Structure formats: C-alpha cells, structure tokens
Amino acid sequence: MERTLTIEVPESIYDSLVRVAEQKGRTPEELAVEWLGHATRMAIEDPVENFIAFASNIPDWADQHDKYIGQTLIEKEKVKVDEGN
C-alpha cells in the first residue's frame, strides 16, 4: 500500500532537488522517495545505535567511543566463533 506524504521544504532545498532530479532524468518526487527510503533504512540498520543506548551510562564514552565499539565488535566475533558460526 502506498501513502501520500505532504511536506514543506525550503525553496533552496527544493531547487537543489529539482536540479539533481533533472540530471538523473527523474522527477523530484521520485528522487525524494528514493532518498527518504535510503535515509530511513540507514537509521534502522545503524549498527552503532544499540551501542549508543548502552554507552549512555559510560562517562568517558565521548572520548573513548572507538575503543568501546572495537571491544564490542571483538566480543561479538568471539561469540560467533564459540557458537560455530
């Protein structure tokens, strides 16, 4: 099922959207739907999102986030190996 979504955007964004759509041989609406779909998929599939909720209780997370993300990824790989995946 398709839904209709009406949004208001600043003229500068609309003008840019029209220019890019013309370059690609598409309508602004087609391009906007494609981009919106991509953005929502990225937001849903963001692997860091779950970690951010966990990290909110870690005081030095902002300074040490790479270290903590790395540790989490290593731990997940160890679990996969231990499970035979």
Does residue 54 lie in a domain region? Answer: yes
- 79 in the same domain as 59: yes
Cα–Cα distance for residue pair 69/39, rounded to 1 Å: 23
- Which of 57 and 51 is assigned the larger pLDDT? 57
Cα–Cα distance for residue pair 47/36, rounded to 1 Å: 19
Domain that holds residue 66: 48-83
For the cut 60, the answer to whether the pLDDT of residue 57 exceeds it is yes
How many structural domains does the chain have?
A: 2
Does residue 17 lie in a domain region? Answer: yes
Phi-psi region of 84 (alpha: psi -120 to 50; beta: other; left: phi over 0): left
CB-based burial of residue 65 (10 Å sphere; 0-12 exposed, 13-18 middle, 19+ buried)?
A: middle
| Tens-place pLDDT, residues 8-48 | 999 999 999 999 999 999 999 999 999 999 888 877 776 66
- 33 in the same domain as 19: yes
Does residue 39 lie in a domain region? Answer: yes
The pTM assigned to this predicted structure is 0.52
